[in-house]
Structure formats: structure tokens, C-alpha cells
């Protein structure tokens, strides 16, 4: 099935913005099997056509833009859930399967896949971008949860990164190809299957909201909760601006202050203990009483508010566009970087509510701007770079989970240093000597 | 400091055995800094001399043998613990630091590093071999716990796999070089520093021993414990032969039957619940009452018995030598492979007690043999290959944690398939074009 690119949905970007506008491919193909993907890749390889893998297009760093034209491989027609192994806690999925689709498929098994980047992304796409999200503090990121990948290389070769059909929980057999492709953002190959670790659905879950007098108090609570060994499932920070936006967008009435959204998973008894320990810690740090969400519906409402952060931010300034940037630092540096970042936003008259996976030291600024105001767009761009450099200066990374894509290539160089970049370039050249796989991204 | 190889300790192997005998290097160097490692590597590179990294020499697949001669880099003089960050749960260590040395250094911080392969291996060596062990079911393997590596490449270039000084809990910045070097067994570079995740020391620990009527019952219990979401810290299987050997070696009196050694970590309250749930499950599977080890001393005795498995196995036949082989399969295939393996051992008149990290589907056969009995040595070799192929036929791997080293290169090819092997060879050629880094290993 081959169609012209006019039919592929494409998120339009503000003109002249620092990350490029739509960049449609020349052709879109919808292969239905790995054999078709391989055959199409061979054609592209022969004719030196760029190959752009496309899952759901929910990435945030411009990873699916066809900056050099070429062929977009939309993999949504390969959408089978294969081989659920209940006793072994694993499943294999094709690239058209999204995380929500998988979890509804698994509903009757007592198992679930917890990695949750917010968007209903495809799981192979999540592997490609090394996605994580709110549950990573407890369950890890894609890096820890992918057991095997089927990959089509630039020349059409099909490989299985852990060997065909293998799905052990651990292995020390040869180089870790799986984790070389996880996070490679489509620049090393097309992921056509991923085998994932699953988890038992917790017996019970409870969520809560807690307000703090300062960013420091919220982060101190987080560190102490982790030190106490509480196996917290989610611990999300929202700054006052973000909470204000959520209140407006979702008709809520949380106090406008630094806030933690918390979630606990476990048995009824263990929840009780987790909550008691956490409440003691937050109280010692002058946190408010917990605002509870116990039943599934109330919890759903709470997390919808968190997941709607993007739309809530956009609604602050109707007609504007948004760009969400993310950085990650060691936990102890979070208060400093968040406080400095908030000062920077005020100083530069920018709207950038902050929300983050504070248990991992990772946070986002959702930059809301008028795309027609070139001055503001420039100020956002400069702010984004300052934020990344602030993270780099604090032993951090310029991207905790969004990836490098198009916009952060220069920052990646600063982060890794020239020799490590040279190694990455060497790996890229080995696996894709013609530079056809998603060219212009990452490196 | 440069000495002749006569001074380096070398575990002697039985003559004519299928994994090679001692293979000493031509020269041993003891660099004291990364700059010295780099300078020495440059000399080796210039003169095309093989480079063999050496930590503690506790690997099990012949990884430190100098099969092509060359220069052994003993890194034990670089033994500083650097930069403990208590709030961030991370530490950086040089290659001379062993896991026991690190944990005693950390004693007053309330933190510990849980990965425990049994031997008191160096942590950089554990990173190089992707070690795991008894705690992996709860805390993961080295793959999940290494945040950054300093690596000297074959030509002396120094890189930091996650960028110099970076130590975030997650990142999506560029290719995952860290996990390319983890498990590369010294064939891609010399690891001169590793930054590790640390964990809070659990408030309480308790261990127990439980005996089962069959392998199936022990494995079923394991699967159900994991399904129930019990965050078990250790769940180790020992077969009847292994238990018998442990009883003799450590003057214990456990029933001679399939057995689980269990350990629970958590708060007092959570232990209570974990234990209750686990006891219910083991009872439902006809397990014995728990034999408890509550205080540190009794627990120490129990785990000493487990860790002494190698010596206990050797003591079964005085004057013999041992070789421990390991495979890993999906949990549900464990009963079948263990039962078939035990039949194979009996049929071929071989002594091979079985012990394994059953929560991960990983187990070892400790093959005890008379090195002068060529017929027995051949039978061991053939058995080892049959065991690995049995694992491969059950979606498994020929090595869960010992690595490929010298002995499992042919099996690795069967496991990965020719195209994935070609990719690995490409990566090796890119990073080490002269094939100087630990030649003859892995590929």
C-alpha cells in the first residue's frame, strides 16, 4: 500500500520556529509485514532514498520529520499483539500496537505494561525513543523493559537483537544490541517487533495530592520517600503555574503552589504502610494534608489532569503553540535548577509551566508562545538552550526522555564530548553507511 | 609498574580441557590512573599488542586468558571510591574496587550496592561481564545499575559513555553507549571508572529455606510469588544433589530435595506480609514449613552455604576440578529443562549439582570432573553444549550471566543468528579495528 504524503497526518509547526516545520516525506508506505518492510527498505537502499519510520507521530523532538525527503514507513497496519506469555510475564507486539491497546488486550490476564509517556504512543516507537514517563520511578523506562527487538536495517537485513524468539529476563550473550536500538530514534533501523516485560496488576492503588510551601520542600520529600524505600509508583511535581493551568483547564481547585501528585501500588496492607511513611515525610517538610483519590474514577480524574498538562498549558494563551522541552539532573540538584529556571522564565517574560517525574530528576517546561511573535520565539529558543546547559552544568542531561531528534543535536555534542560523539558516528556509519535511516536526527 | 607475567595469579585449568589452559600474557602492567591506562594502550596500539583487562580474575568463561599473548592490564591499583552522592543514590568507583569493598565503604551511609555474583569481583569487571547473581530478581543486573562508564578504547582514546561526570537516573541523549560496553567482556575497551546506582539498606531482612517434592513445585511457587507482586529479594533454587553437597560441606542438615532459599527485604510490617503470602503459596505447592534465618548471623550462615556451592560441589570428589556453566530460559520452561538436564547427568554418569536464580529463569550446573579422565572431560564438554542447546530450543540463552568468553562463541552464533553476529562484528571492527582488545573472546 503506497500513498502520496498528502494523506499522512502531520502536526504543523509554527513557521520559522527553531524546530523545523512539517517536512513531509516524498512517499508514504504502509507495509503489512516485516517481509514487506525489508523489501521496501531494499528498494530505498538501492535508490539511496531516506527511510523515516513512523509509529503514532507523538514524539516531541521532530523525530518523524522528513528533513531530506524520502519514504515514510507508517507501521500502523502491523498491529498484532503476539505471544502473550502469562507465566513468563512477557509479550511481543508489532509496531502498530499502542500502549493503551496493549493494556486493554491484557485486561483479563492480570498483567499490564506500566511504561506511560502520557501520549498513547506505539510501543515500538516508545522503544525507538527510549520513552519513559510517570511510572518509571517504580517500573523503569523502555531501556529496562525491552527484552528483544526485531529490526530491519537500512539495507533490508532483518535481525533480532537478542536472537530470534528469545525472551529471557536476562542474558549476557554477546553485545547488548537491544539497548543499542532502544533510544536510537529510527536512525539505526526500523523496529518491527518488540518483546516487553509485563508486570502483575497491583492488588490496590491509591493516589494523593500534596501541596508544599517551596520547591525545595517538595523535592526533599521525594528524596526522603525514596531513601525510606517506599516503592512509590508515581511521584510527579507540578509548579504553581502548572497547577494554576490544570485548575483552569479541568475545573479543579488545588492550591496554587508547588505540588506533588503521588500514586502507590501494592497490596491493601502495603499501601497503608507506604502512605503512612510518606505522609510522615511530607508533614515533616511542611506539606499539606493529602487530598485523596481512592477509587478508580477519582484517580482517573487526577491523572487525566496531569496528562492534560499540555492542553492546560496551551489553554493559558488561546491561539498559541507549545513546545515541551525536558531535562534530567541528579535529584539533589532539582531544587536549584527549578528555582533558577522559574526566575529565568519570569525575567524573559515567558510562559512555561513545569511538570516533572521528580523521582527520576526529570522535568518538562511546556513553552507556550505566539508563533507569529518572532521575538518571543527567539526568546523561547534561547531559554531552551539555557535550560539544557543549566542541566549539563549540574551533572545532568539535555534530555531525560524526549530524545535528541532535530533540535538537541548541538546540545548532545556538549553533553557527550567529541570522542563519544565520534564513537556514536562510527556506530551509525557501520549500521547505516549510506546514512539513509532517519537522516538529520540525533547526530 | 610493569612486571613479567610470572607474578600474576592465574587459575590453572585442567590440561586438554575444552576451555583453554592458563594462557599467560607476555607482560603485566599495573597502571595507577586513566592517563596511564591510556598511555599504555597507545603503546600497545602502536605495536599491535593485544590488551587484556584484568580485574579480580573471578570470571567463569576464561575472559582473562591471553590466548594471543599481549599485555595484561591489571587495574587493581586504581582502587578509589569516588563521589558518593547520598541524596542521589549514586557512587563512582575505580576498577580496583570490589563489591564487598564498596559495601563496607558505604556502611555508614544507609546505602548499599546489591548486585552480588557470589565472588568478591571488581565492580568494573562486573560491568564488563554484565554480572548479576542472587539479588537480580529484585534489584536488576549490572545492565540496569550502571549509569556511566569511563572507557579507554583500543587506541587510547578516553570516553565517558554518558558524558563526563553525568549521573542521571535516566537519559535519552543519543545512543546508549553505556549498555554497549556493559557485557562487552573487555573486547571493546578498558573500563576505568563506573558510576553505579545505589539503594537504601532495607530496614529489615529475613531469610528462609523451603523444601519441595519436585522441581515443578518449586518453580510453580516462584512464578506465583512473582505474580502475587511479592518484591522478593532473593529466590534461589538448589537441586537435591546441590543440597546434599551443601549439607556435607557446611555441616548442615537440610532435607535432600528440591529447595528454595528465599530472602525478603523491606520494613518489618512489609516483611510480615511478604512472608505470609509466600508461605501460603509454597504450602499450596506442597512445600515444607519455612526454616527461618532471622538474625544477621543465621542469615549469613545460610547464604554462605549458597555462596559456597562451588566449593561444596568440588568437595564431592576430592582432587577433581570444576566448571560452572549457566543458561537462562523463560520461567515457564524451567521445570522441563531442569528435569531433562538431571536425566542427562545421570545418563552420562556426570556430577553436576544445580543451583540457580530461579526468579530470573537462570541456573548453573557445577560440573565436577577428573581432569585426567579424558573420557569424562569429553562427556562434560558434550553435556555443556547439549544443555545450552536445550536452553536455545526453549526460547532461552546459552548464558544468563557468565558471558561468552572463550567457550561459548559457537553457541552465541547459534543463539543470535548470522546477521546479528555480523552486526556485532561490525561494532567490534568499528571500535577496535586492529582487534587488539581481549582478542579471541565473545565473537
Q: For residues B72 and A325, what is the distance between their CA atoms, to the nearest angstrom?
A: 46
- Residue B130 at interface with chain A, using a CB cutoff of 8 Å: yes
Strand order in the sheet with B158-160: B81-85, B90-93, B190-197, B146-152, B158-160
Average the pLDDT over B257-265 and give the result. 96
Cβ neighbors of A22 (< 8 A, separation 6 or more) are A10, A11, A12, A13, A65
Q: Which residues of B366-391 are buried (b: 16+ CB within 10 A; e: fewer)?
A: bbbbbbeeeebbebbbebbbebbbbb
How much of chain B, in percent, has pLDDT values that exceed 70? 95
Compare CB distances from A174 to B132, B360, B404 and report the shortest one's residue.
B404
Q: What is the pLDDT of residues B166-217, one digit of tens each?
A: 999 999 999 999 999 999 999 999 999 999 999 999 999 999 999 999 999 9
Q: Could you tell me which chain A residue has the CA closest to the CA of B411? A: A173
- Residue A160 at interface with chain B, using a CB cutoff of 8 Å: yes
> Which pLDDT belongs to residue A227?
85
How much of chain B, in percent, has pLDDT values that exceed 90? 89
Query: Closest by alpha carbon to A203, among B273, B357, B338?
Result: B273
- B18 has a pLDDT exceeding 60: no
What is the CATH architecture assignment of B81-200? 2-Layer Sandwich (3.30)
CA angle, residues A341, A136, A149, in degrees to nearest 5: 120
> Which pLDDT belongs to residue A120?
95
Residue corresponding to grid cell 543499542: A180
Q: Which residues of B touch A269 (CB under 8 A)?
A: 269, 273
Residue B285's pLDDT band, with cuts at 50, 70 and 90, is very high
Average the pLDDT over B393-420 and give the result. 96
How many C-beta atoms lie closer than 10 Å to residue B414's C-beta?
16
- Domains B2-74 and B81-200 equal at CATH topology level: no
> Which pLDDT belongs to residue A2?
52
- B17 has a pLDDT exceeding 80: no
- B7 has a pLDDT exceeding 60: no
Average the pLDDT over B408-419 and give the result. 97
Q: Which residues of A311-327 are buried (b: 16+ CB within 10 A; e: fewer)?
A: ebbbbbeeebbbbbbbb
**What does the domain layout of chain A look like in residue ranges?**
2-74, 81-200, 204-310, 311-417
Cβ neighbors of A110 (< 8 A, separation 6 or more) are A86, A200, A201, B227
By the 10 Å C-beta count (0-12 exposed, 13-18 middle, 19+ buried), A252 is classed as: middle
Q: Are A377 and A350 in contact (CB under 8 A)?
A: no
B10 Cα distance to chain centroid: 19
Q: Are A128 and A185 in contact (CB under 8 A)?
A: yes
**Residuewise pLDDT in 10s, chain A (443 residues):** 455 444 433 333 433 345 546 789 999 999 999 999 999 999 999 999 999 999 999 998 889 999 999 999 999 999 999 999 999 999 999 999 999 999 999 999 999 999 999 899 999 999 999 999 999 999 999 999 999 999 999 999 999 999 999 999 999 999 999 999 999 999 999 999 999 999 999 999 999 999 999 999 999 999 899 888 899 999 999 999 999 999 999 999 999 999 999 999 999 988 999 999 999 999 999 999 999 999 999 999 899 889 899 999 999 999 999 999 999 999 999 999 999 999 999 999 999 999 999 999 999 999 999 999 999 999 999 999 999 999 999 999 999 999 999 999 999 999 999 999 999 999 999 999 999 999 999 99
Q: Are B177 and B159 in contact (CB under 8 A)?
A: yes
Q: Are B232 and B261 in contact (CB under 8 A)?
A: no
> Which pLDDT belongs to residue A228?
87
- Residue A175 at interface with chain B, using a CB cutoff of 8 Å: yes
CATH for A311-417? 3.30.70.2740
Report how far apart, in Å, the C-alpha atoms of A401 and of each of B24, B103, B192, B264, B345 are: 46, 31, 28, 33, 49
- B145 has a pLDDT exceeding 90: yes
A148 φ/ψ angles, rounded to the nearest 5 degrees: -165, 150
> Would you call A17 helix, strand, or coil by DSSP?
coil
> Which pLDDT belongs to residue B15?
37
Q: Are B193 and B150 in contact (CB under 8 A)?
A: yes
CATH for A204-310? 3.30.70.2190
Q: What is the pLDDT of residues B227-260, one digit of tens each?
A: 888 999 999 999 999 999 999 999 999 999 999 9
Q: Do A165 and B395 touch (CB under 8 A)?
A: yes
- Residue B430 at interface with chain A, using a CB cutoff of 8 Å: yes
> Which pLDDT belongs to residue B21?
61
Top-tier CATH class for B317-406: alpha beta
Handedness of CA B24, B27, B28, B33 (dihedral sign): negative
Can you tell me the ipTM of this complex? 0.94
Cβ neighbors of B272 (< 8 A, separation 6 or more) are none
Cβ neighbors of A54 (< 8 A, separation 6 or more) are A8, A28, A64, A72, A73, A74, A75, A76
Q: For residues B284 and B287, what is the distance between their CA atoms, to the nearest angstrom?
A: 7
A397 φ/ψ angles, rounded to the nearest 5 degrees: -120, 150
Q: Could you tell me which chain A residue has the CA closest to the CA of B159? A: A420
> Would you call A208 helix, strand, or coil by DSSP?
strand
Q: Indicate the helix (H) or strand (E) that contains B43.
A: helix B34-47
What is the CATH architecture assignment of B2-74? 2-Layer Sandwich (3.30)
> Which pLDDT belongs to residue A171?
96
Q: Do A167 and B395 touch (CB under 8 A)?
A: yes
Amino acid at each position: 500500500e503506497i500513498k502520496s504524503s498528502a494523506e499522512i497526518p502531520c502536526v504543523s509547526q509554527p513557521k520559522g520556529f527553531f524546530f523545523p516545520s512539517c517536512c513531509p516525506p516524498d512517499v508514504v508506505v504502509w507495509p503489512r509485514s516485516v517481509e514487506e518492510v525489508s523489501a521496501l527498505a531494499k528498494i530505498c537502499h538501492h535508490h539511496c532514498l531516506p527511510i523515516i519510520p513512523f509509529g503514532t507521530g507523538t514524539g516531541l523532538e521532530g523525530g518523524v520529520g522528513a528533513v531530506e525527503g524520502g519514504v515514510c514507513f507508517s507501521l500502523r497496519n502491523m498491529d498484532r499483539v503476539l505471544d502473550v506469555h502469562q507465566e513468563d510475564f512477557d509479550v511481543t507486539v508489532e509496531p502498530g500496537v499502542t500502549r493503551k491497546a496493549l493494556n486493554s488486550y491484557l485486561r483479563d490476564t492480570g498483567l499490564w505494561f506500566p511504561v506511560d509517556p502520557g501520549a498513547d504512543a506505539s510501543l515500538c516507537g516508545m522503544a525507538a525513543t527510549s520513552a519513559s514517563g510517570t511510572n518509571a520511578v517504580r517500573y523503569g523506562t523502555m531501556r529496562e523493559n525491552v527484552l528483544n527487538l526485531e529490526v530491519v536495517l537500512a539495507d533490508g537485513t532483518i535481525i533480532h537483537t537478542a536472537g530470534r524468539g528469545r525472551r529471557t529476563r536476562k542474558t549476557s550473550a554477546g553485545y547488548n544490541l537491544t539497548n543499542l536500538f532502544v533510544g536510537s530514534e529510527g536512525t539505526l533501523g526500523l523496529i518491527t517487533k518488540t518483546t516487553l516485560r509485563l508486570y502483575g496488576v497491583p492488588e490496590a492503588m491509591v493516589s494523593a495530592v500534596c501541596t508544599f510551601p517551596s520547591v525545595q520542600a517538595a523535592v526533599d520529600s521525594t528524596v526522603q520517600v525514596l531513601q525510606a524505600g517506599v516503592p512509590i509508583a508515581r511521584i510527579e511535581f507540578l509548579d504553581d503555574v502548572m497547577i494554576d493551568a490544570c485548575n483552569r483547564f479541568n475545573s479543579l481547585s488545588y492550591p496554587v503552589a508547588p505540588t506533588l501528585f503521588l500514586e502507590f501500588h501494592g497490596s491493601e496492607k502495603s499501601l497503608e504502610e507506604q502512605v503512612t511513611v510518606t505522609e510522615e515525610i511530607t508533614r515533616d517538610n511542611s506539606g499539606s494534608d493529602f487530598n485523596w483519590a481512592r477509587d478508580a474514577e477519582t484517580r482517573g480524574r487526577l491523572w487525566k489532569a496531569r496528562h492534560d498538562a499540555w492542553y492546560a498549558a496551551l489553554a493559558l494563551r488561546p491561539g498559541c503553540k507549545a513546545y515541551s522541552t525536558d531535562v534530567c539532573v541528579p535529584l539533589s540538584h532539582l531544587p536549584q535548577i527549578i528555582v533558577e529556571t522559574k526566575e529565568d522564565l519570569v525575567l524573559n517574560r515567558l510562559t512555561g509551566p513545569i511538570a516533572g517525574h521528580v523521582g527520576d530528576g526529570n522535568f518538562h517546561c511546556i513553552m507556550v508562545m505566539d508563533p507569529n511573535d518572532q521575538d518571543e520565539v527567539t526568546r523561547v529558543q534561547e531559554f531552551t538552550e539555557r535550560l539544557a546547559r543549566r542541566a549539563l552544568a549540574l551533572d545532568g542531561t539535555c534530555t531525560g526522555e524526549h530524545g535528541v531528534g532535530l533540535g538537541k543535536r548541538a546540545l548532545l555534542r556538549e553533553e557527550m564530548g567529541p570522542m563519544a560523539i565520534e564513537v556514536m558516528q562510527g556506530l551509525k556509519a557501520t549500521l547505516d553507511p549510506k546514512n539513509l535511516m532517519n537522516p538529520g536526527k540525533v547526530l
